[in-house]
Amino acid sequence: MFHKKAFLPALCVSLCLCGGMVPGVSAAALPDPPGQGEITPYALFIRGKSLTFDISAGVAAVNGWVTGQTGVADRCRIVVELQEKSGSSWETVATWSDESDGRRASVSETKTVTAGRTYRAKAEVTAWSGGASETQTILSSEKKA
């Protein structure tokens, strides 16, 4: 005859023994995820940045800006290049820049481009705080004229 009272304790003991056989993983044995070591800020002096690029009716339009952190940055610069694809490399066909002692610099320009060729825009933005600076690069998507 089957006894329910004897079955339950035996089941509990079996589960405990089986659970003890599963190897445990110590937190110390796990590697840190990429970028999870030391905490570093995303940007020290650059507060915001943007680059837009479009081609319409044979004209490339480039708009870009950079702003510095409030109370930190005292000068900003943006340099924008219009680049044309040549094989597997990119050649600069036009360059525009703006620099300001304030917290914002911007560029808004157009240039006639050749039909059938592929272009992109590249911006290098910089913000200064005293003698220290921070620079970031922005690449637009490629567009065919």
- The per-residue pLDDT for range 78-91, each reduced to its tens digit, is 999 999 999 999 99
Which residues span the domain enclosing 131? 46-144
- C-alpha–C-alpha distance, residues 55 and 110, integer Å: 9
93 domain-assigned: yes
- C-alpha–C-alpha distance, residues 26 and 33, integer Å: 15
Residues 16-51 have pLDDT tens digits of 555 554 444 444 444 444 445 555 557 899 999 999
Residue 123's CATH number: 2.60.40.3930
95 domain-assigned: yes
Residue 138 has pLDDT above 90, yes or no: yes
- What average pLDDT does the segment 82-103 reach? 96
122 domain-assigned: yes
Total structural domains in the chain?
Answer: 1
Query: For residue 60, what are the β-bridge partners?
Result: 55, 111
How big, in percent rounded to 5, are the helix, strand and coil portions of the chain?
15, 50, 35
Residue 67 has pLDDT above 90, yes or no: yes
Residue 105 has pLDDT above 60, yes or no: yes
Within the chain, residue ranges assigned H as helices are 4-20
